[in-house]
Amino acid sequence: MISFPLMDHNLNPPSNLSIRSAEPADAAHIVQLIRQMGSDSNVNEEYVLHYLAGSERGVLLACLDDHVAGLLSYSVRADLYHAGNSVLIEELVVEESHRGQGIGGALMEALLAKVERLGCRELCLAVMPDNKPAIRFYKRHGLVEEALFLERHFRP
C-alpha cells in the first residue's frame, strides 16, 4: 500500500482520513462510487480489475478508517507537444454524505504530489461547463481554463 500526504489548504480533512492506491480487492467499492456519478455508467468489478491492471493508470482512494469514501482515477500518457508525460484526471467522486469535509481536496493534493514525483509536464481534466462548484474546486488546486475538450461517444 502506498500512502500519500494530505495537504488540503482549504479544509482540514478528518484526522482518520488516509489516501492510498486502489488494489484489486477494492473493485466493489470503486463500482459503488462510480455509479454515484450517474446511472448510465456500465462499470462493473470485472472492468475495474482490467483498469487497475494497466500500468499507465491508477485510482487513489480516500479512506475514513476502513471505509472508502472517495476516489480519483487518472491516466498517464506520453505527450509529444510537451515532450513528456501528461496526466488526465478521469473521475473524482466523494460519497454524498462525506462531501464538504476536505476529502476531494486531499485526493487532489495526493495526485498533485504524485504528478510532481513522476516528473509529468501537464495535468488536465474535463468538467461540464455548468458545474461551477467543480470548476471553483479545480481552480483552487491550480488548474486553469486553457482548452476546450470535445468528445464523441460510441456504443460498447
Q: Domain limits of the chain?
A: 17-140
CA atoms within 13 A on the CB side of 102: 17
Query: What is the pTM assigned to this prediction?
Result: 0.88
The burial class, CB within 10 Å (0-12 / 13-18 / 19+), for 147 is exposed
Question: In tens digits, what is the pLDDT along the chain, a chain of 156 residues?
Answer: 333 333 444 467 888 999 999 999 999 999 999 999 987 889 999 999 999 999 999 999 999 999 999 999 999 999 999 999 999 999 999 999 999 999 999 999 999 999 999 999 999 999 999 999 999 999 999 999 998 888 898 987
What is the predicted pLDDT for the residue at 38? 83
17-140 folds as: Aminopeptidase (3.40.630)
Is 152 strand, coil or helix? coil
